[in-house]
Structure 1
């Protein structure tokens, strides 16, 4: 089993060494943070559902009888894992794991499964489907953002298979980016919910893709969105979270996006106004907490067989990586780091044991959230 070196400590050590090692820090930290046994478990979840067509929840507009077709015919690359966006990010999960752990026992099966999906004819059909009448808002923004995240992971992967898959995916990647770039200037308000339509989380994925792909127009659109939607926000009501079916935190996702856009000192100042309740060791902050109570406790899951109630497991996973991201965006000696990292650890410890696949309601998607967290995907290349 790969050593469980604390990734933040490893990052600090490599940066201190400087030179080429410092440049390799993010990927090295990502590899160090992965437990290979857990990675194999998460890969197995994706492999189980990648080409499992049913049960299936499709978001499909019927224009006539001819449109009543099986999922594998409508979207032949991404028809498994219950829904389109979960199929997309299950492919991301596998590509990321075989990039970070190329000699893993599951890698050959994962390569074969991804190759089966990312065949040229399948991607051509996906592009045709996306361009179909009545699909202007298909999987926007969540599924489309995950498609760009998959494309970014393939671009990062210096591997013959990955280069071929990336080239094959490029027409769908281009169509997806164009749709989002056309939508962003028309979006007059942010979407501040805790499920798929939320803008802040998807903006973070889109931002990361734009950096890898060198797409400055997307970066400029997202900078504008950050300014219009979030820059003046104050006192986010974190105490009102979570809602009963959240898998994303509206407050934390917004902060996790803004830390990408703003420099550390500017982000620290913005965060003070946006989430003033983060403990920083001062007497006033301590007084705002109940004696002995930790700040920001994990959500409670009452029924993992219920597809909506099981969302809370995803919330705990995404909160953990968002808290880590917020900490990553702050200056090195910010007084809030201890509270943020402690809360991230609580959520991580509460959520990861629940990613088992016992129930398909969570098993078809929680593996992706677990890999995003444990491989530090929002922080590491």
Structure 2
């Protein structure tokens, strides 16, 4: 691996030592939009390193015919594999943090093991900053549990990083699994009286009680406030369209839809994509790429066509950088439009199944 101007990065430094992780983070933050050659070099190096330690990735590369020559040739591993196999790139060391996906039983939960949360902290704050989310300029209110109460939630961890970096007060309003609606409404009412702009951030489903007219009157927030939703209707008994949802948010909080943000991330990733408004395009930071793949062929879909989102995330140094999701999207010229979870069959294009990749 070339360290750009400072010589090679040793394998153990890149993956396991604080100085190597810090330097890798600097390389990622130093990437600018459109720097394809530098992104390609970093992606191919990380892929080669991870393949030595993550057996499913090594098997997928072997089935593909060998080492890729471009980042687009890096095969993404199915997201489902995080539920079935260990994808930790530092065995036999112990991860500092293990994030888990939601699920009805422990066996159904995907697990993402991080040696340290240092890089996740850096990219989850800097990624939102570069996207333009004004999280540092307002008082923050989170419709999720705190990192202390939910130590296995990657979303709680990310919002915790925002809270730590923001000089203004921050509040987490889900406690013991329940939204403290009374406390939240009182806090927002105080902010309105004192004309203090706020950021209200949480899963889409967590906003629903606040939109029920029978349980509380509309509460127009001060100018400069913003809302951020992270999706989250999947598996719920109540679900509304995104257009109706955003209209309800606009009506309840007096926030124009242009100031309603959508965050797209997942437990298995370290980076996030952001969009604004109902029809907003999700864009990623320079250290990630998202391709929209045809589920029948595994080939990249043309602009305007539907497919499944596949990520290359250079911040995912503790597991695998390439992840194939079951999220349907439409490719655009400068990002993608997220449509939601696909109900179709998993992506084709490789003869190896999830069971093949996880078997020893």
When the two structures are superposed, what TM-score results if normalisation uses the length of structure 1? 0.27
- Say which structure is richer in strand: 2
- Say which structure is richer in helix: 1
When the two structures are superposed, what TM-score results if normalisation uses the length of structure 2? 0.28
